[in-house]
Homo-oligomer: A and B are copies of this chain.
Amino acid sequence: MNRVNYSSSESLGEQIANVLRLRIVSKESTPGTKISENQIAKEFETSRSPVRDALKILSNEGLIRLERMGAVVLGLNSTDLLELYEVRYLIETFAIKRLMENYKEDLIISLVKIIDKMDICGKHGDYKEFSELDFLFHETLIKGIEHNRINHLWNSMSKVVKSVILITTEKRFQGRVEEYRYVIKTHRQMIDVIKTRDVKHIDKVLKEHFNDGHLSIKNLL
């Protein structure tokens, strides 16, 4: 029986990759675990073709390593998370500098709207929606500069970032719920930096934001 499901826009491979990604990032799959295509195919009741796609996606994201026989889970240790934040810092600093030179008012409006929604979700304790908005904020910022190459870099890591944000936010909300205010504050600061063209404060604001993100996840895990 061939199963073709066009009702869902994502191919089976991407769906499988999504499930496995969350497993790896959430440490449900521990680093070092060996996985084979057959084994995954059996679990998801598909053939090996979509599984191969999925493994290739995860390999590109750096979550697993494809070896001659079987793939091995790499996962994200503390160093990896730091590095992820460093690269995000690098890219978003670039983006903000570029936006300062030249931005469309629409973009700022979109960003403010996202923050406002985050505020509401924060008050309701809806961490899931909050984390998606957080992700969307940064993605909107990056897509805003319309830089093809940066776009590709972002696409190759965005799914990982999204997963990390989701998990971080969840843990944060389990602790002191009011912490979300800090995230919102730094986001507003980022917009201010763009609008006021305050070059001197870019590094300070962004470093603070990413440092906080990294530290909080490090403490929580």
Contacts and interface: CB of A to CB of B under 8 A. Distances in A.
Copies of this chain, whole number: 2
A108 to B, nearest CB: 23
A147 B87 CA distance: 10
Contacts of A86: 147, 149
Nearest to A87: B149
A147 B91 CA distance: 15
Size category of the binding interface on chain A: 20 to 34
Interface string A80-121: 100110110011001000000000000000000000000000
Contact of A153 (B148, B151, B156): B156
A128 interface: no
Given A60-B60, A62-B149, A90 B94 contact: yes
A75 to B, nearest CB: 11
Nearest to A81: B149
A35 B197 CA distance: 45
A136 interface: no
Contacts of A149: 62, 80, 83-84, 86-87, 157
